[in-house]
Amino acid sequence: MRSGIIFSAIIHILLVVVLLFGLPSYFEKKITEESAVIVEILPVADITNVKPRRKVVPKSKPKRKPSSSAKIKPALPDPTKKPKPKMSKPEPKPKKAPKIAKKPKPEPKIVQKDVKPIVRPPKKEEKKVEEKKEEEKPEDLFASVLNTVEEIETSQKDEKETEEDNLDFSDIEDMLASSNDQPKYMPGLPLSISEKDAIINQIMRNWNTSSFSGAKDAHKMIVTLIVIFNKDGTVEKITRKNTTRYHSDRVYRSMVESAERAVRKSSPLKDLPPEKYAVKDGWREMKINFDPSQMMY
Amino acid sequence: MRKVFKFLLVVFFVFSSQKANALISIDITRGNVDPLPIALPYLGSENKEARKLGEKIINVVEKDLQNSGLFRSITRRAFIQEINSSNTLPEFASWSSINASALATGGINLVGEEEFEMEFRLWDVLAQQQIAGKSYNTNKNNWRRIAHLMADEIYKRLTGEDGYFDTRVVYVSESGPATKRVKRLAIMDQDGANHRYLTDGSELVLTPRFSPAAQKVIYMSYSDSIPKVYMLDVDTLKREVVGNFTGMSFAPRFSPDGKSVVLSASVGGNSEIYKMDLRNRRKVRLTKNSAIDTSPSFSPDASKIVFNSDRGGNQQLYTMDSNGRNIRRISFGKGRYGTPVWSPRGDLIAFTKMYKGRFYIGVMRTDGSGERLLTESYLDEGPTWSPNGRVIMFARQKKHRANTKGEWQIYSVDLTGYNEKLIKTPMDASDPAWSPLLTK
């Protein structure tokens, strides 16, 4: 009886070991040379056939379908209007230093003083409610008209369409994104190259480098900002990295400020898929590196 | 059990912290090189005369900033909000909608009969906050200096470097036919205003140099074919003789503290470099070489001197310690290099280069690398740096054509090579020398 149990136990353990480690192989094993290869993992989406200005970013799809151009311009959002609370008393004028003017030959004295910033209550920013979504809605009708013909054509090739009914948001995106396809909705995918490029292009256009272009070590300075975006593409918060240098190096500060201006000017970011907002590696929070070394001498 | 739980907790935190680091990274490697758009509304005031003065001031500020090539002033007709004092909070949305990145608002008032006071605030429109502010109080006639000070403050806050607008330029004003040239020392603000003559033209004057520490100019003057070096105070016009130096072809250059000079003089056909203390007039010889060593210039920390020498076979640039040791050649290009001038910022050396019959103004790093030519023409020479080391002024002569004599004029160019501009002067001009900032 005992020996049976023991025997059974041993066999079971053996089975577990085999399952874990596999059977030993008696064939020659090739020794693979290991050499370090530096790779950058970039998720690649469909071929984006977009013109530089009006990028319509397609969702990443499992099957590749060459999409022909269907340029539907998303409407530009209105200039930001943030209502502010009424300003409290303005700061009193700086004190005058009594000075008697002298004859021009010896230079007249100039009295310079710093002017402190106006004290004001903290602003409360209104959250823009899905402005982007609203803008796209009027486009739907147009887009739908344009697309109906192609939809009929390609409906045979379509994959599961049932999911579209549940996700009205993605519907709008889909119609804008492609003419031929009914894309399959794949949530949770990280930001692809084309979408990153869309972000880069928007910020690049607005990055004004003239304020630090002649600086002594302009080609050696790199600025990194951590930026948090709202779902509508506007900037929620910008955090600077390397704050000690910001406070000690005036020229570095001017570069940091030019980077912040570039980000703020590009707000709201356009053409970014909302479903990739809050995912891991999504565009809600990103690290933006400004490196002018290619531009500076 | 407890241990296991603790272990799991640690594992959990390790993993969760890893997740937090997974931020997507975006690299921006290019931007645009457009000038920074800035809005400069006129200063507000209740007094009409003060308002007119304020307009003049802002116009000068606008011109300074635009001439630097780094800023673009937005036309006033585009302004949406009307701001009449510096105490009003701007409606930032309306300023950013006309594309302003920066905004300067201010107010001005007369004080008594002779004086005025003004203040301004500089705003970062996109960040929506004040980033600089200054108030000034002075005599009414001194309004130009206030304008330059305001422009300097804006420049400094937005670029991080000192400005150069509150400065003056001394140069040699030339007139008359080639056979009977009259050369006078003249001084003007860096924007060309307040022009006046410092000498009367009875003596030939050459190569003025501005002291980096005082409003004094050292220059060479020929009377009866004997060269004399003079030091002139540009405000009091008092003049003293620094010395008679035979064998000098250009005036000495100041040391950064203004207390000594470095010069080249040739004795028996051999040109050598000397350092001279201005107080006791004692000379120290720095180079000992049979070649022509000339045109020395101090580095801003006074530790080194750059000069040109033909000891290597043709005219090239060399640096040495200020005691004459450690001589090192830094230029190796084709052509001849001359008139080296060390930038007050310390990182670059400007020079004149002659190659295949053309002249160039160029800059290189202090070890000789990164040589860049900024200008080219029939004859460009004699660079001088602005006190912040960003802009170079130089003299250019046009080629003689038929009956016209070749005109001499002063130009300025940014160290990046952009923004070459003519500086207007009443007559021909050459040998510019840039003053330090007037307020130090």
Domain membership of residue A23 (yes or no) is no
Same domain as A133, residue A247: no
Strand partners for B365? B348
Q: Please check whether residue A264 lies inside any domain of the structure.
A: yes
Residues A198 and A143 in one domain: no
At B34, list the tokens: 């457009």
DSSP assignment string, chain A: -HHHHHHHHHHHHHHHHHHHH-----SPPP-PPP-----------S-----SSS--PPPP-SS--PPPP---PPPPPPPP----PPP-PPPPPPPPPP-----SSSPPP-EEEE-PPPP-PPP-PPPP-SHHHHHHHHHHHHHHHHHHHHHHHHGGG----HHHHH-HHHHHHHHHH-SS--PPP-TTPPP-HHHHHHHHHHHHHH-B-TTTTT-TTGGG--EEEEEEE-TTS-EEEEEES-HHHHHH-HHHHHHHHHHHHHHHHTPSP-S--GGGSSSTT-SSEEEEEE-GGGT--
Is residue A152 domain-resident? yes
Question: Across the interface, do A251 and B159 touch by the CB < 8 Å criterion?
Answer: yes
Residues A211 and A276 in one domain: yes
Q: Is residue A161 part of a domain?
A: yes
Q: Between chains, do B415 and A281 touch, taking CB under 8 Å as contact?
A: no
CB count in 10 Å sphere of residue B195: 14
Query: Are B119 and A117 in contact (CB < 8 Å)?
Result: no
How many angstroms separate the CA atoms of B31 and A155, rounded? 44
List CB contacts of A108: < 8 A, sequence separation 6 or more: A101, A102, B138, B139, B141, B142
- Chain B residues within an 8 Å CB radius of A189: none
Residue whose pair of structure tokens reads 């290019």 in the numeric block: B30
- Residues of A with CB below 8 A from B133's CB? 114-117
- Determine whether the interchain pair B31/A287 forms a contact, defined as Cβ–Cβ distance below 8 Å: no
List the single range of A87-96, A246-255, B77-86, B232-241 with lowest mean pLDDT: A87-96
Residue B418 in 3-state DSSP? coil
Q: Are residues A177 and A241 in the same domain?
A: no
Q: Per-residue b/e over B166-187, b at no fewer than 16 CB within 10 Å?
A: bbbbbbbbbeeeeeeeebbbbb
Q: Does residue B190 or residue A33 have the better pLDDT?
A: B190
Domain count, chain A: 2
The pLDDT, as a whole number, for residue B13 is 63
pLDDT at A52 over 50: no
Domain encompassing residue A201: 193-294
Chain A interface mutation, best of B16, B18, B28, highest count of A Cβ atoms under 10 Å? B28
Cβ of A79 and B93 within 8 Å? yes
Which of A140, A165, A186 delimits the end of a domain? A186
- Contact status, residue B307 vs residue B340, Cβ threshold 8 Å: yes
Cβ–Cβ gap A251/B161 under 8 Å: yes
Chain B interface test: which of A78, A102, A112, A297 (most B C-beta within 10 Å): A112
Q: Are B133 and A117 within 8 A, CB to CB?
A: yes
Closest approach of A67 to chain B, Cα-based (Å): 27
Q: What one-letter code names the amino acid at B155?
A: Y
Beta strand B196-197 pairing with B391-397: unpaired
CB within 8 Å: B159 and A209: no
Do the chains contact at B22 and A283, CB–CB below 8 Å?
no
**A121 to chain B: closest CA residue:** B89
In terms of domains, do A139 and A200 share one?
Answer: no
Q: Which chain A residues touch B349 with a CB distance below 8 Å?
A: none
Based on the domain organization, do A134 and A174 belong to the same domain?
yes
Is the Cβ pair B34, A105 closer than 8 Å? no
3-state helix, strand, coil in chain B (%, to 5): 15, 45, 40
Q: What is the pLDDT of residues B142-201, one digit of tens each?
A: 999 999 999 999 999 999 999 999 999 999 999 888 788 899 999 999 999 999 999 998
Closest partner residue to A280 among B22, B31, B115, by Cβ?
Answer: B22
**Half-sphere exposure in the Cβ direction for B425 (13 Å, CA):** 32
Q: Is residue A209 part of a domain?
A: yes
Distance (Å) from the alpha carbon of B93 to chain A's nearest alpha carbon = 6
Q: In this structure, what CATH number is given to the domain that contains residue A255?
A: 3.30.1150.10
| Residues A260 and A151 placed together within one structural domain of the fold | no
> Do A54 and A180 have their domain in common?
yes
Cis check: omega of the bond before B387, within 30 degrees of 0: no
Both A199 and A288 in a single domain? yes
Considering A186, A212, A229, which residue would you say is the last residue of a domain? A186
Look at the pTM and tell me if it is higher than 0.90: no
Helices B48-67 and B143-159: crossing angle, nearest 10°?
50
Cα–Cα distance measured from residue A238 to residue A225, given in angstroms and rounded to the nearest whole number: 7
> Do A262 and B372 make contact, defined as CB atoms within 8 angstroms?
no
Determine the pLDDT at residue B130: 95
> Are residue A55 and residue A176 in the same domain, yes or no?
yes
Q: Which domains does chain B show, CATH number per domain?
A: 36-159 (3.40.50.10070), 168-434 (2.120.10.30)
| Nearest Cα residue in chain B from A266 | B126
Q: Give A142-172 pLDDT, tens digit per residue.
A: 555 555 555 555 554 444 444 444 445 555 6
**Which candidate from B93, B142, B370 shows the least CB-CB separation from A110?**
B142
Average pLDDT, stretch B425-432?
Answer: 95
A97/B160 Cβ within 8 A: no
Q: What is the mean pLDDT of chain B?
A: 91
Structural contact between residues B124 and B131, judged by C-beta atoms closer than 8 angstroms? yes
**Beta strand extents in B147-285 (DSSP E only):** 168-175, 182-189, 196-197, 204-210, 216-223, 226-233, 239-244, 253-254, 260-267, 270-277, 283-285
Predicted local distance difference test score (pLDDT) of residue B362: 96
Interface test mutation site (partner A, options B18, B19, B24, max chain A beta carbons within 10 A): B24
Query: Which residue among A146, A170, A186 closes a domain?
Result: A186
A115 vs chain B: nearest CA distance in angstroms? Answer: 5
Kindly report the three-state secondary structure assignment for every residue of B280-320. CCCEEECCCCCCCEEEEEECCCCCEEEEEECCCCCCEEEEE
Q: Is B351 helix (H, G, I), strand (E, B) or coil?
A: strand
Residues of B within 8 A of A237 (CB-CB) are: none
Which of chain B's residues have a Cβ under 8 Å away from the Cβ of A254? 158-160
User: Is the residue at A11 inside a domain?
Assistant: no
Interface test with B, best of A81, A208, A247 (most B CBs within 10 A): A208
pLDDT, tens digit, 9 for 90 and up, residues B62-96: 999 999 999 999 999 999 998 877 788 999 999 99
d(Cα A251, Cα A134) in Å, to the nearest integer? 42
Of B28, B114, B136, the CB nearest to A203: B28
* pLDDT tens readout for residues A258-285: 999 999 999 888 888 888 888 877 888 9
* Smallest CA–CA distance from A297 into chain B, residue: B370
pLDDT band at A108 (very low <50, low <70, confident <90, very high): confident
Same domain, A57 and A164: yes
Contact criterion met (CB < 8 Å) for B29 and A291: yes
Q: Which tops the pLDDT comparison, A54 or B402?
A: B402
Instruction: Return the structure tokens found at A147.
Output: 């697309």
Chain B residue with CA closest to A250: the answer is B160
- Does residue B141 register a pLDDT over 90? yes
Work out whether strand B239-244 and strand B380-385 pair parallel, antiparallel, or are unpaired.
unpaired
The answer, yes or no, to whether residue A184 has pLDDT greater than 60, is: no
Residue A127 has pLDDT above 60, yes or no: no
